[in-house]
Amino acid sequence: MEKKTWLITGVSSGFGYELTRQLLESGNNVVGTIQKESETEKIRFFYETYPNQFEYEVLDIADSYTSSKVVEGAFKRHTSVDVIVSNAGYGLYGAAEEVTKKEIDDIIAANLTGSIMFIKNSLSFLRKQGGGRIIQISSFEGQVATPGSSIYNATKFGIEGFCEALSQEVAPFNIGVTIIEPGKSRTSFEYASVKTTGSLSEYDISPAHNYLTRTISPSPGNPTLVAARIIESSNINPAPLRIILGKEAIEETISTLESRLAVYKSQIKTAPTSDYNNI
């Protein structure tokens, strides 16, 4: 299989780490980003074991200026960058009323604006080199809204809408776009990469606080297999727009979409009544 160069955000843990490990083991090149210099110890194995295949940059994904420089540098140093993976981000639990404006601003800056700008910064380079693949790590919560995750849902619903429209814009340039929607997986995202907001006791009767009392059990998703499926997707042509990973994730998503479709179908007769020709 042809060796490729991948640019991946957030490689110090979770799916980003596992993607990098598998790609390097199979002979690919990886330009990875970490959020801060103190995370270099987490990726020591990569730069010590694969000094000719791996390089890293420090990038706070919310910093659009640094993001543009990281992307530009990767394309300048390599003949081509074949796959762009927008992976960096985090979760946030809490009812909407409990979340502060700063918490909202921060997660939108990372999960939504940061992801958009990272991808946007790569487009001219991908177009000029004749194509490539963009992979956005989303979540099944980009389709399934859950109480207590309203702000996180907003970022994932938003990035999915962006990527779906983008896929149509860049198709003429041989640029494929794939949204990955994993279910719950056993990565650090469930712990270190999820933040909780202050709790209002009034919401103890609301499902928004279910996360406070639920029994913690191992998630079913295997990050090694998730990463393998993501890598495999990069070789599928044309690029699949969405790939959902996990039994619970696919079941919940189908159920949600069927319910949503039923609502729209129930309005087939009433929706046109707002058109001019119905006056």
Residue 156 is a catalytic residue: yes
What span, in angstroms and rounded, lies between the C-alpha atoms of 51 and 256? 46
Give the phi and the psi of residue 90 in degrees, each rounded to 5. Answer: -155, 170
Dihedral sign for Cα atoms in the order 128, 129, 130, 135: negative
Among 138, 139, 167, 185, the one annotated catalytic: 138
Residue 122 is a catalytic residue: no
Residue 115 is a catalytic residue: no
Among 152, 167, 185, 233, the one annotated catalytic: 152
Residue 12 is a catalytic residue: yes
Structure tokens at 4: 């490729």
Among 156, 184, 185, 233, the one annotated catalytic: 156
* Residue-by-residue DSSP string for 142-160: GTS--TT-HHHHHHHHHHH
* Burial (CB count within 10 angstroms: exposed 0-12, middle 13-18, buried 19+), residue 173: middle
Among 12, 13, 115, 167, the one annotated catalytic: 12
- Which amino acids are annotated catalytic? 12, 138, 152, 156
